[in-house]
Amino acid sequence: MLVKNVFRQNSFYTALYQMIPDNHILKQIDSAIDLSFVNDLLADRYCKNFGRPAK
């Protein structure tokens, strides 16, 4: 029996992000500035066991 390969998109937000042109100002800011320290600063404000990461 053959199995059909079906495209599955990761998330709705990934599809939206891919629609934004690479030269958009917010994408340029995202690539130029590292804001990963914010996750550490706000870690105690979010539940570690439930829900999505604070991104």
pLDDT for the residue numbered 54: 56
Mean pLDDT estimate for the chain: 81
Residues 28 and 21: their CA atoms lie apart, in Å, by 10
Please, are residues 27 and 20 in contact by the beta-carbon 8 Å criterion? yes
Question: Would you say the C-alpha torsion 12, 15, 21, 25 has a positive or negative sign?
Answer: positive
Distances (CA, A) of 40 to 8, 10, 19, 20: 32, 26, 30, 28
Write out the residue range of the structural domain in which residue 42 sits.
Answer: 23-54
Structural domain count of the chain: 1
Is residue 4 situated within a structural domain? no
The answer for residues whose C-beta is within 8 angstroms of residue 15's C-beta and 6 or more apart is: 9
pLDDT digits (tens, 9 = 90+) for 24-47: 999 999 899 999 898 889 888 877
For residue 9, pLDDT over 80 is answered with no
Q: What is the pLDDT of residue 33?
A: 95
Residue 40 lies in a domain: yes
Residue 14 lies in a domain: no
Residue 27 lies in a domain: yes
